[in-house]
Each structure stands twice: as structure tokens, then as C-alpha cells.
Structure 1
Amino acid sequence: MTADGGDIFSARWIIEDAFHSHNDYALYVLDGRIAGLALLAELKSRYPSARVHSDTNAAILPGFVNAHHHCYGVNLINQGIRDDLLEPWIFASAGAADVAPRLATEYAAMRLLKNGVTAVVDACTAGHTAAFVEAKIRDKIAVYNGLGLSCAIAPGERWHNQLVHPHGQSQSFLTTLPEVLRCKLQRKHVARTRIDPQSFVRFLSRMHGEYRAFECADVWFGPTAPHWTGRETLRDIAREVSKSGQRIHTHAEESRLQHLSATAWSFQGAIAELGKAGLLSDGLSLAHMVWAGEKDLARVAEARAHVVCNPSSNLRLRSGIAPAPLMKRMGINLALGMDGTSLAGDDDMFAEMRLAQSLYWSSDRVNPSLTAKDVFDMATMGGARLMGMDHSIGSLSVGKRADFVILRLDRLEGPWLDPGIDPVELLVSSAKSADIQSVFTGGQLAVSHGEAKKCDEKRILQNITDGMQRAADQRLSASEYAAVKSALQRWYDGWLTKNAPQ
């Protein structure tokens, strides 16, 4: 790209955002920013020294925002970890190969970028010490920003309910298991070293202060879920947030068992606990919200908090379908996340949008179905708003970062294409990541014909292979997993029988 005159990119369609598409338009990119959006002839006249890149059989669209993601490294099924109900699956996924966080992030970031994702919320596990968490955060930001991705790193921990949801019942549950399995779960899930909550809060507050001036990176509080965090820690987080404006990202109302049993004893449910702690605000993002009721959603809407829908993950882990049409009608900002568990494990945001539109269908006239434009907005500006970065990412508006995808239309065009087709409708219904020709981040070429240009893909793949081979196999055996799953079923069946609504 030229250093002085900038670059003009033209296509059949420029999709500025979900609701504004332009025929035969072009983008003018200068110093990593979108400096013009107009007809090609007009931009060429205005900027005669700019290099022109023209393709009449392509569409240019904003880079996607993956608003909730976990870096598992190699796909879990490749590690022998099968989909299941969320609660037993958690025990299996904890046995995923323990590759270095930087390496897992490199692999995940490269995959996301090749799929047109240019911004991500990384919900990671904190770890055992502040030094370990700091190294993890710095490595993740360096990896994402090195590839040109904007990022928010949201570390969290599970201090409560490591085994079962009703608080304080882990040891009781352990007594129902055979001794060998009891010792294994005690060591892996209950007794493992965790950063203490007070240090966690102080440390993440400091890290946010260090990165708050960065346009493309932020550090958030990522309490794994309210019932896994504890009231005192939630209140401590709220005190820091009130002073700094730091954002919060958490899982909430993901599974039916979580929804029912997390209200046991004095715990009042995820949204009620977040409200009591003072965390319901426009700086809060809630992942999943599959089982949230209308009263809780009304509180979320009133607080202007955000919700990340994760349709693939919620299907794979048998959690259900989020009430997205109701959320949309209430005015809640919706984003889209792939959660590290997209339907085919391929991180294809086109497939995620397509699934979202198919699932978030409603026969209720009061809560109309989500349209193709709605889910495209979720995957772009909805995520940008959630990240608090909508001033710089999420659309192809003048002044924003030049993060965009050039998509070939050859396959989509087929033998015939209605000349009046809406491009967003076409892309959501039919596009695949394989149709991506190139991805630009900050105006720089990041992916070309499936090849990542800002990293050594062969090195990353070889390092992942080596790391997987070295990693100790910590998974439960098939018989152990069957025993845990059976014990969990009995435990929750017993709890639900005793605590069923009258």
C-alpha cells in the first residue's frame, strides 16, 4: 500500500453496516483509517494519487466482532472431549491439553482472523498467581494486537461451587463418588491453587489502568459467573468499577440446572445478585442468558447492559435457545459470540449468524423474529457497542479503523442472482468463510486467500502439535466420566425433587 496517497478499495457492494449497503461504492483508506466512503469515480477524483483496488465481483464488509470466546487450543472433539450437558462437560473440558496460554491464543487468534474476525472478547481463566495472570494478559494482548485484532481480556475464576451449583455442597457431592474419582476431582477442581479474590480485584484494576488509553486493547473484570464468584468479591469489583468505569463480562443463566439450582439457599439468581452488588450497568456484558426470565431481562434492559448470544455453544452443550426476540424487543443490545465451540468447530461467523437467524425465530407478533440484518448487526456493531469500542470498530464509517473483509461473490452468484437482492440477506443466508478473499486490519493486509500474513502459520501449527504431544493427559477416563455424569444426574435430580416449585 502507498505510504502517502492512501488506497481506494471498490467492490460491487460496500456494506457499511447491517442497515446501510452501497452499490458500486469504494473505501478510501489512509493511515489505517477509513478516510472516505463514496462512489468510486468520486474518490478517484478526490484522491488521484491513491492506489486503486477494484473488484466488481466482491463485497466489502466490516470485520466481525466475536464477543465471547475461550481459547481451547485444538478443538475439544480432537482431544476426545465430546459435547454433553454443560455440567458434566465442564469436568471433561477441564482435562483439555494444558498448552501454554500464549500458544493457545496464537492458534485461536489466527483462526479467528482467517474467518474475518477482527475483534474479540477473550474470557479466560485467571490462574494461580497475579504474576501468572499478568503474563497471560500481556501475552494475549500482544498476540491479538500483533495480528491487528482489537481485544478485551476478561479473566475470571471459580472460587465457589467448583463441583455443583448449590453453594457449599462440593464436599457433600464428593462423598457420593468412589474414592479414586473423589481424590481426582478434589485435586483438579476444588484444591487447585487460585489467585485470591482480593488480589484478583486489585490486580485487574491496575492492569485496566495501564491499558485504558489503548484504542485496541482493554482489560476487564471477568467473574466467571455470579454464583461461582461470591457476593463479597462481586461487591469489591463493583467498588473498583464505580471509580474507573472498567467493564465486566460474565456468564449468566446458561443452563437449566444453573438457572434452577443457583437460586438455592440465600442466592437469588444471577441478575438479582449482580444488581445487589451494584454491577448492573452499561459496562456489563452477559454471556448466554438462555434461561433468563422476562423480569430479569427487564432489569438488564433498564441498566442498558449487553447480552452475548452463543447459539452454537448453547446447542452443543444442550443449554437451549436464548429468548433473543424478547431481548431485542426490550431494547437490549445483542452481540454474537462463538465461545470456542462453534457448531462445526470452525469459527465461521457466517455460519453462526445463519444459525442465530434460524434459531431466534418467533411466532409471537409481540416479539418478532430476528432478521438477517439483526444478526449481522449482532456480529458487528452489537459486539463493538458491547466492547465500548463502537467509535473505532464495527462498521465501515468514516473515521473508524480500516478493519474489513473482502468477500468473493463467485460461488454466491451461482448461475443466476436477482439483481435486486439485499447483500446482507445474501451473505447471512449463503456466505461461508471459504468465500473470504482477504482481511485487512488497521488498513494492512492480514489474510490473503486463506493465508495469514502477519504470523508464521507453520510455526504456530507445529508448536501446537508439539504442545499437544507433551501435554499430560488429565482427562477423566470413559468409566470415570460415566460415573461423574451419573452422580451429577442423581445429585441434581435429588435437589430438584426437594426444591421443586410448589
Structure 2
Amino acid sequence: MPADSRAIFAAKWVIVDAFHSHKNHAIYVSQGKICDLAPFPELRSRYPEATLHKDESTVIAPGFVNAHHHCFGVNLVNQGIFDDVLEPWILSAAGAADISSRTATEYASLRLLKSGVTAVVDCCTAAETVALSESKIREKIQVFSSLGLACAVAPGERWQNRLVHPDGQDQAFLASLPESLRGTLQRKHISRKRLEPENYVNLISRLHEEYRGTDTVDIWFGPTAPHWTGRRLLRDIGRTVREKGVRVQTHAEESLLQHRTIGGADFPTSISELAQSGLLSENLSLAHMVWADDKDLNRVADMGAHIVCNPSSNLRLRCGIARAPRMKSLGINLALGMDGTSLANDDDMFAEMRLARNLYWSDDPTQPDLSAQDVFDMATMGGARLMGMDQHIGSLSIGKRADFQIVNLNRLKGPWLAEHVDPVELLVSSAKSTDIQKVYTGGSLAVVDGETCGRDEHDVLQNVAEEMQRATDQKLSTKDYATLRSCLMRWYENWLADNVRPA
């Protein structure tokens, strides 16, 4: 169905948002937007000329917002890069096959669409030069937009601490390695050319201004994390954010080692660093925040910043479990991200919600846990608010973009389903991406029964396979990785023993 068509979509339930569902209702879509919502008989009588799509064995729900993602291309496990503690995993993941940004983004986009995701925050690496970085950003926007995905592209880089966390310790760590590994890490991590910080700030500022008038495309700063960015650059970004309203997403308090080794007397935590740089505001979203303490969470709440939780990633990379119930109790807007590392490598947002629901129990028995509605909100309106696009996406409210999914209930109903069951509870507890019948973006059909409409998936998969075949195998050998991992963990253990005072 093209976006300019007029159509009625009717189902057993219409989920407007996490907290408002209507039985035997329908939506009226015209010009790519939700134009009306009412009980089906009423809507049919109002728009008798509209094309009718009616299926009482389905539920209509908003498209999901994946609020923190990396387009890795082929699953890292398929490349022989296995889950581990975050710090050695990062050094290993740098050896992932270097396929083109366009191909990786197309492949990721198709996977997300088939999971009902219609908006994404793409945290990517900036290229070596201004020209290459600009080309990469525009290419990503073109891919997302052509497939109907709302997007924010947030490039970043590791400008410092390229091997280990404590500031200025890279060379000391490098010297601790066997000579056979030094050259490899020097080449891949220390000497790799990066976009100059000043050029980075100017580029993101310029592109943000160019796309400012669009409803569903944005360019953000994506400094990888405070300890990888540096104080001076963070302050330059903060100044631009205050002057031009650019949004920022960064990783923060992701792992225990990050938490224990960053900062100093002036800036004991990443949140302190961000606050002093002028970045702690409603324009900032923080990915992970697993190890943030109450003081930091209170500062985040006071300044209106957002947190995006990534439960699968935090389990796979041994980071821990975010205190999402505490965050919510403080009034922090929470979103959900798959981080390119969903639990089964399938980018299934239903599975991510289900994991969040079952992991995020309150450690205070007097405080409520996250409900199914809470995690559904994280995956929809929470992400839309984080993106600053909540007036356009995230729910099926009248006037918003017609980004929605039609989920078949036959498998979920089984032999019997109580009439009073909440459809949000049903989806969060039991649905899979394979239950999605159709996905619409901006009123246009994007997915039908697992097949994408806007791009030849076979062509994309062939491109992935061909580029992977040509790509140089950059990953460390099993033996070298084992040696590096042992040296890295021993180095952190020694550094922590010498530099971190007991609590």
C-alpha cells in the first residue's frame, strides 16, 4: 500500500501505546499518517471508500524504536568473535570483517524491519576524514530513509585510551605484552587514523543543521564514551549542543572495569565528566548505565537526560544488570536498545522486551518492578522521546506517522485465550518476530510474512557474502586472543590493586 492511499486497518486489538489498548477497533490511515481511531463499525461508516484490511486474529501495534544499535554486519559470533568480558571483547571485535557501511546498514535495516522496528539510533564509527565521514553518514541516512526507518545517526570514535581505560596507560599496557602482539595492537588500535576532533565537531554541527527541518532524520554526536573521548572534546561538543540543540548519545558506566578505572579527583564518574562538560541535559541519552550509583542517577533525573537499557548486550558482555526499576522510580525516561548484540543474534525486539521484563526486578521489595507495559513503553514511546521524535513516532496516536506492525495471534492464543487478557502482556510474554504478519512505515507496506518489500533481500545477502569473502581476516588467532586476554585481565587486576582504594 503506497503512503498516499486511504485505508482502514481493523484487528482484535489496536494498541495505541503501552497503556492504551482498544478491542475491536480500527485505525484510518491517509497520506502516511494515522488520521482516525474508533470502533471498527464507526470507522467503516465514516470512510466507506477506504480500502479495508481486517483480520480478527491479529493485533495492531506501534512500530518499535531501537534506541541504541550498532550495524555490525554479519553476526560477530559467525566471524569467530565470541562473547566475553567487555574489555577483551572490544579488542577482539576490532578484527571484524570490514565490509562496506552501506551493505552492513542495509543488512541491519532489513533485520530490524522484520522485527517490527521502524526507528533506530545508529551509533557508528566516524571515518578517517571529513569527506569519508560525511559520505558514510549520508549513505546511512539514504539506506534508512529508503526503507522507511526513522533514524538518528550518531558517529563517534575512541580518540584516547584505545587499549585500556585509565587515562594515558596505553603505552604502559602495550609494553607489558609479548613482542609478537605489540605490532598488531599498535597497528589496529594505536596508529589507526581517526577523524580530527575539531573536524568532527564541525561536521556533525553542519549536518545536524542541514537535517534540522526533517521529522524523522537526525544527526547526533556519538562520542563513544567519556573516557574514550577526552575532556577538551567533550567540552567542545557541550558548547555546540548548547548553541545548536544537537542531541548526543554515549556509552556510560557499562562495565565494572569502566566504573572502577575512569575519572579522578575532579571527575570521579563519567556522569560528573559529562555534567562538567555541559552535556548532562535533556539532549543526552546514556547507553547502559549498569554501574551508575544513586548519586549519578539522581543527577541524570534532575537534568532530564535519558537512559537506554540493553539487557542482552549487558549479559553477553558480562557487564551486569541495569537498575532499571530504580531509574524509573526517579522519573528517568527509559528506552530499549539491542546494541547489535541481541541474545540470540536475531534482533528480535519482542525477545528483548521479554528479557527486560524478567531481568529488571526491583532490589527494593517496597518498590514496583517493571511491568509489561513499562518495557513496551521503553521499546516505543521511551525511544521516541529519547530521539526527540515523540510528536511523530512511537504510538498510534492520531496525527502521527503510520508506523505500525500487524501481529498474528494464532500461535499466541493457543487452544484458548481469556477475554480479559491485556494484549501488551500477551505480546511481551509470548510474541516473537516470526509472529509479525506485516510492517508498515509511513503508511507504506515494508514487510509481509517475513519478506521485505523495499529492497531485494537476496541481493543484500549476496552483497554481504561477497564482501565477507573478499574481506581480510583481521581477527586475532585463538592463541593470540588467549594471550591478550590473560595479559589484559592481569593488567587490570594489578592496576586496580595499586590505584583504587577500598570502598
CA contact (8 A) 2:3 2:32 kept: no
Please state if 1:214 is matched with 2:214: yes
Instruction: Find the counterpart in structure 2 of residue 454 from structure 1.
Output: 454
Using a 3 Å threshold, how does the CA distance of structure 1 residues 279 and 3 change in structure 2: closer, same or farther?
A: closer
Q: Which moved more, 1:257-266 or 1:390-399?
A: 257-266
Number of equivalenced pairs:
502
Shift of 1:366: 4.0
Please state if 1:169 is matched with 2:156: no
CA contact (8 A) 1:166 1:264 kept: no
Q: 3-state DSSP class of the match of 1:123? A: strand
Instruction: Find the counterpart in structure 2 of residue 443 from structure 1.
Output: 443
Give the alignment of 1:39-188 within 5 angstroms: 39-188=39-188
Shift of 1:298: 0.2
Name the CA distance, whole Å, in 2 between partners of 1:494 and 1:214. Answer: 51
CA contact (8 A) 1:166 1:265 kept: no
Q: Which moved more, 1:365-374 or 1:378-387?
A: 365-374
Name the CA distance, whole Å, in 2 between partners of 1:450 and 1:31. Answer: 25
Instruction: Find the counterpart in structure 2 of residue 354 from structure 1.
Output: 354
CA contact (8 A) 2:102 2:143 kept: yes
Could you tell me which amino acid in structure 2 is paired with residue 415 of structure 1? P
- The two structures have a TM-score, normalised by structure 1, of 0.99
Name the CA distance, whole Å, in 2 between partners of 1:206 and 1:235. Answer: 18
Using a 3 Å threshold, how does the CA distance of structure 1 residues 363 and 275 change in structure 2: closer, same or farther?
A: closer
Instruction: Find the counterpart in structure 2 of residue 304 from structure 1.
Output: 304
Name the CA distance, whole Å, in 2 between partners of 1:4 and 1:91. Answer: 48
CA contact (8 A) 1:412 1:430 kept: yes
Instruction: Find the counterpart in structure 1 of residue 15 from structure 2.
Output: 15
Shift of 1:500: 3.2
Could you tell me which amino acid in structure 1 is paired with residue 379 of structure 2? A
1:37-88 superposed Cα distances (whole Å, 9 cap, x missing partner): 1011111111111111100010000000000000000101000000000000
Q: 3-state DSSP class of the match of 1:351? A: helix
Q: Which residues of structure 1 form unaligned runs of 5+?
A: none
Instruction: Find the counterpart in structure 2 of residue 274 from structure 1.
Output: 274
Q: Which residues of structure 2 form unaligned runs of 5+?
A: none
Instruction: Find the counterpart in structure 2 of residue 326 from structure 1.
Output: 326
CA contact (8 A) 2:70 2:339 kept: yes
Instruction: Find the counterpart in structure 1 of residue 395 from structure 2.
Output: 395
Instruction: Find the counterpart in structure 1 of residue 228 from structure 2.
Output: 228
Using a 3 Å threshold, how does the CA distance of structure 1 residues 179 and 264 change in structure 2: closer, same or farther?
A: farther
Name the CA distance, whole Å, in 2 between partners of 1:299 and 1:500. Answer: 24
Could you tell me which amino acid in structure 1 is paired with residue 284 of structure 2? L
CA contact (8 A) 2:5 2:31 kept: no
Could you tell me which amino acid in structure 1 is paired with residue 54 of structure 2? S
Shift of 1:217: 0.6
Q: 3-state DSSP class of the match of 2:124? A: coil
CA contact (8 A) 1:103 1:463 kept: yes
Instruction: Find the counterpart in structure 1 of residue 24 from structure 2.
Output: 24
Shift of 1:367: 3.1
Shift of 1:264: 4.5
Tell me which stretches of 4 or more aligned residues in structure 1 moved more than 6 Å: 2-5
- The two structures have a TM-score, normalised by structure 2, of 0.98
Shift of 1:216: 1.4
Using a 3 Å threshold, how does the CA distance of structure 1 residues 449 and 494 change in structure 2: closer, same or farther?
A: same
Using a 3 Å threshold, how does the CA distance of structure 1 residues 118 and 293 change in structure 2: closer, same or farther?
A: same
Instruction: Find the counterpart in structure 2 of residue 38 from structure 1.
Output: 38
Name the CA distance, whole Å, in 1 between partners of 2:365 and 2:488. Answer: 39
CA contact (8 A) 1:130 1:195 kept: yes
Instruction: Find the counterpart in structure 2 of residue 490 from structure 1.
Output: 490
